[in-house]
Structure 1
Amino acid sequence: MVLMIASASIGGTLQYGYNLAIMNAPTTFIQSFINETFLERWDVQLEEYQVTLVWTIIVSIFSLGGFAGALIAGPMTIRFGRKKCLLLNNIFLMTAALLALTSRTARSFEMIMISRVLVGINAGISMNVQPMYFGESAPKHLRGAISLSSAVFTAFGVVLGQVVGLREILGSEPCWQYLLASNAIPGLIQLLTLPWFPESPRYLLIDRGDKEACINALRRLRGCEVQSSELDEILQEQAETKGMRASHPWELFTDRSVRWQLISVMIISSAMQLCGNDSIYFYASYVFKEAGISDDKIQYATIGTGTCEFTALCLLHFAFFKN
């Protein structure tokens, strides 16, 4: 189970945090690239605010891709299953890495924009599918703690991206395109390891109606014979959902039985996104520069922000397991 969590997370929610962080280090280099591209194509020297505008679009369009990924995650999990969905999700990632890697040679900042949309789609899918995969595969008494590991790997991805983005590694002017394409490595690790692990037992029984495959998946995940109580729980869920179709997102707003759950999720999720946490990672260079930190120290201060979040989530995760 631990190996499955690591495999799914490395190519899953870790990518979300990683792709948040790696855009900060090459800020000045990509801005120079944008200016040079405009000068070569149209003999136009952009003003500072214009370069900042293009850069802001490149950074923030990641969120638009995430929105699209979140919308298609549900249909993908029903059609392909949880594990296969995570594997197919790497198509977006590998395409994005290829575009980012070749953008400098092609002299095209638009390729970086498209790359950011694609990694956003990848993040949107993984942020929805991975907790679902964990929750459906974990033992009941560990379900909450294992689902929380998605957030831990996100924070770890942020720290990893900040470390890889150091000038001593890939955060230098000659290497920024390799930094943007380095997210292909975790994706490749997932492609090589995740196929060895079973599909979600609940998906196998409830969506596909394959009881034998469900039992085999449970046996592999638990490392022992399947307890009848756990199988009975899934069978009961199958009976309750028999004949029901998957709801569309807009139908949730008219379903009174889930109204308060939906309101709670919306408020909490909005608070997480509007608290400014992601903005710090996206625009850390600007924030710390305005705070008076010298340019050569900003990259180390940025790592400190990611480390604080990662440490806090690790402590919270430990508390979940302890309880």
Structure 2
Amino acid sequence: MPAGAAEQDNGKASSSKTLALTVCSAAIGGTFQYGYNLSIINSPTSYIQMFINDTYTERSGSSLATTHVTLVWTLIVSAFSLGGLLGALLAGPMAVRLGRKNSLLFNNLFLFLGGLFFLLCRVARSFEMIILARFLVGINSGVSMNIQPMYFGESAPKHLRGAVAFSSAGFTALGIFSGQVVGLTEVLGTEPLWHYLLASNMLPGLIQVLTLPWFPESPRYLLIDKGDKEACVRALERLRGGVAPTSEMKEMLEEQQMYTNSKSTGAAKTPWSLFKDPDLRFQLRTVMMASSSMMLCGNDSIYSYASYIFLQANIPADKIQYATIGTGASELTASILSNLLIERVGRKCLLVGGYALMSCWSIVFTVALTLQKQGFEGMPYLSMACVFAYILSFGLGPAGVTGVLPAEIFDQSARPAAYMVAGSLMWLSLLLVGMIFPFMVKGLGNFCLLPFFAVCLLSAVLLGITFPETKGKSLAEITAKFDKKNGRIREPGEERGGGG
């Protein structure tokens, strides 16, 4: 058997236990936390609002108006997105200075401090501590949402790169589902226990702190950023379950040479540098479009709207919490399916196909709501089916592929800054949709999902036209495809000056 074929078989056989455990350890305290904290806040909504009003009454002797309670509640919810935005901005410098693994470990400080505020807020009679805690937990999620996919993309072998990076979305969905289960009234979703529910996010963080130090750092970071070839080889051997593949080392050494050459000509290491580099125009445009669309498509708002739909379907109010768990289960199922498909059908098919399906379901959903208002039987159940189908379509493509893109289409010097841009746009878009969606429901009524239809359709068309398939491609091959779009023709052997 030829050496190359034997090495490839070796690589495929080494679905290394170390790699799998590294993924689990990083993700349980990473994107799992984003999904978990996104969902656990829904169950205790009424209890927290009562706590806000009671606390204010104890201080001033008069109760808050309903609108003021709603305003404070909005601050609690929005603090998570604002913290996420700050976390996304911190992620780039942290990834460069501390490394991928150490950044994830250090990131737990924000989580533990936030959890402590959750635990003490009732004793201190302070709803302000909840706002601060949500802000700190948001920082934790913002950092992990950027650094974890970077860590995975740099640690996985090429034939598993998409599936490993896609696991970030799978753990997000698992976090959402777990948060919904823990928030049940039979678990922690009760008035005496709601602060323990909010602080329960410390447990996954503790698991990460106890396990992640035992696993290797990103080989690419060790070689390219730190210049430590021996540490890179050791990490690669552990992640591949044996001898470091020579072809993979050769590819990383070539990237290291590109990185070394680019440092002398001004490497694109800051977001501003990325915007100024004409060689990265289409890469940056693709990442910005995909990251914005992921939140502007309204998937998180669909989660919030699900309870109303289930109520309209005549499901008893005390059973709605169980039906809502189905939304988290839908995305979890889709993420598992996507993990199996991403290396078979490719990134572009899943990304464009997901948005195309979502645009179709939003139209069916609008029609079902309109007919439901006119008294047609069975329409609430069709609306319910659309909720699940919309979330399934989102989990099938956009939820996972979006996080893979910066790791695949930018080089080592540009990757942290690209994740800063992508993460900032994601959190800004989440904040925007969260603030305007209630007004959309009130103003547009049955047609409230039409803006999301426009976003999904436009995203499917534009990404279908501009995004080249990256499945199984090396960084040099991906760069060559984008060079054509950027109008850049390189001479043989010419090195890249910017990054990407």
TM-score range, shorter chain: over 0.9
Q: TM-score, normalization: structure 1?
A: 0.96
**Alignment partner for residue 325 of structure 2, among 296, 303, 307?**
303
- Deviation by residue 1:119-158 (Cα, 9 ceiling, x = unmatched): 1110010010001101111011111111011001001100
- In 2, the alpha carbon distance for the partners of 1:318 and 1:201 equals 25
Match of 1:29 in 2: 47
- In 1, the alpha carbon distance for the partners of 2:214 and 2:344 equals 29
Three-state SS of the structure 1 residue aligned to 2:337 is helix
- How far residue 250 of structure 1 moved from its aligned partner, in angstroms, is 2.3
Change (3 A) 1:267 1:99: same
Match of 1:39 in 2: 57
- In 2, the alpha carbon distance for the partners of 1:107 and 1:299 equals 28
Change (3 A) 1:252 1:289: farther
Q: Which amino acid aligns with 1:57?
A: L
CA contact (8 A) 2:115 2:133 kept: yes
Superposed counterparts of 1:142-221, under 5 Å? 142-221=160-239
- How far residue 258 of structure 1 moved from its aligned partner, in angstroms, is 1.5
Q: Which amino acid aligns with 1:9?
A: A
- Note the residue ranges of structure 1 that are not aligned, 5 or more in a row: none
The percentage of aligned residue pairs carrying the same residue is 62
Match of 2:20 in 1: 2
CA contact (8 A) 2:96 2:225 kept: yes
Match of 1:123 in 2: 141
- Note the residue ranges of structure 2 that are not aligned, 5 or more in a row: 1-18, 346-500
Q: Which amino acid aligns with 1:318?
A: L
Identify the range of structure 1 (252-261 vs 277-286) with the bigger mean alpha-carbon deviation. Answer: 277-286
- In 1, the alpha carbon distance for the partners of 2:100 and 2:273 equals 23
**Alignment partner for residue 75 of structure 2, among 51, 57, 65?**
57
Identify the range of structure 1 (252-261 vs 55-64) with the bigger mean alpha-carbon deviation. Answer: 252-261
Q: Which amino acid aligns with 2:285?
A: I
Match of 1:278 in 2: 300
1:133 aligns with 2:155: no
Three-state SS of the structure 2 residue aligned to 1:89 is helix
Identify the range of structure 1 (200-209 vs 277-286) with the bigger mean alpha-carbon deviation. Answer: 277-286
Change (3 A) 1:287 1:173: farther
- Deviation by residue 1:287-312 (Cα, 9 ceiling, x = unmatched): 75677654312211221111111111
Query: RMSD of aligned C-alpha atoms?
Result: 1.7
Change (3 A) 1:36 1:284: farther
**Alignment partner for residue 91 of structure 2, among 34, 56, 73?**
73
Q: Which amino acid aligns with 1:138?
A: A
Match of 1:317 in 2: 339
Q: Which amino acid aligns with 1:267?
A: M
- In 2, the alpha carbon distance for the partners of 1:125 and 1:227 equals 31
- In 2, the alpha carbon distance for the partners of 1:290 and 1:99 equals 37
Q: TM-score, normalization: structure 2?
A: 0.62
Identify the range of structure 1 (155-164 vs 52-61) with the bigger mean alpha-carbon deviation. Answer: 52-61
Identify the range of structure 1 (123-132 vs 283-292) with the bigger mean alpha-carbon deviation. Answer: 283-292
- In 2, the alpha carbon distance for the partners of 1:108 and 1:286 equals 31
CA contact (8 A) 2:153 2:165 kept: yes
